[in-house]
Amino acid sequence: MEPVALNAPAGIGALLGCDPSMTEHDRKRQLARELVATRLGVDRKRVRVEREAPSNFGFHTQLIPEVDGVDVPMEIRNVSFREATVVAVADPAMPIGIDLRDPQPDEVTMGDIRRHSKLLDQSDVPALLTHWTRVQAVRAADGRGARVSPERVRFNAGLTRGWVRDRHFHYDVVDLSRDGWVITLAYAADPS
């Protein structure tokens, strides 16, 4: 798999990897290892990426990087869709969330999008998809993910800043789309 660097904001590293012959988990680990090694300026062979042990059913585990057997404090987020995986890495104090979609969503996905969308033109698939990926990225950055109803996510008029109504965080939202994939990143540059 040849990782593709995404044009992420300063302080965030992001890679896209596509390889149908690899498992999703192997793609995540390989991309995370590459990002951590680059960020720390160490050889990839010194970096190990393990999955956090689940504490209970339904717990979504995080990736935890180690260098020479020592845990490294770093925020790692990942998302996969079919043969594609995106991994983003940032300082642990910077909440980040990402979303990855096919630009031609299936009818089931479009049904979900339309059901939750507040957009007036329900026939504009690109606009619906743009809005939906931004909602999903903000939900991921918030940390509660699917526990936050999509209807609770709000945006400014340009869809470049989003928030969840019951939280004080505001997230910058950027489009990192590449190689035919719709990729959105939400991050709190100043989480205070």
Q: Is residue 68 part of a domain?
A: yes
Number of structural domains the chain divides into: 1
Q: What is the pLDDT of residues 53-87, one digit of tens each?
A: 666 655 556 888 999 989 999 999 999 998 999 99
| The pLDDT of residue 137 | 96
180 three-state secondary structure: coil
Q: Is residue 32 part of a domain?
A: yes
| Residue 69 backbone dihedrals phi, psi, to 5 degrees | 85, 5
The DSSP string of 98-154 is EEEE-SS--HHHHHHHHHH---S-TT-HHHHHHHHHHHHHHHHHHS-GGGS-GGGEE
CA trace torsion 37, 38, 43, 46 (10° rounding): -10
| The pLDDT of residue 119 | 67
Indicate the helix (H) or strand (E) that contains 10. none
Range of the domain at 160: 4-187
Q: Is residue 30 part of a domain?
A: yes
Q: Is residue 172 part of a domain?
A: yes
Q: Is residue 61 part of a domain?
A: yes
Q: Is residue 192 part of a domain?
A: no
> What distance in Å separates the CA atoms of residue 115 and residue 131, rounded to the nearest whole number?
13
**Regions of the chain where pLDDT drops below 50:** none
DSSP 21: T
Q: Is residue 123 part of a domain?
A: yes
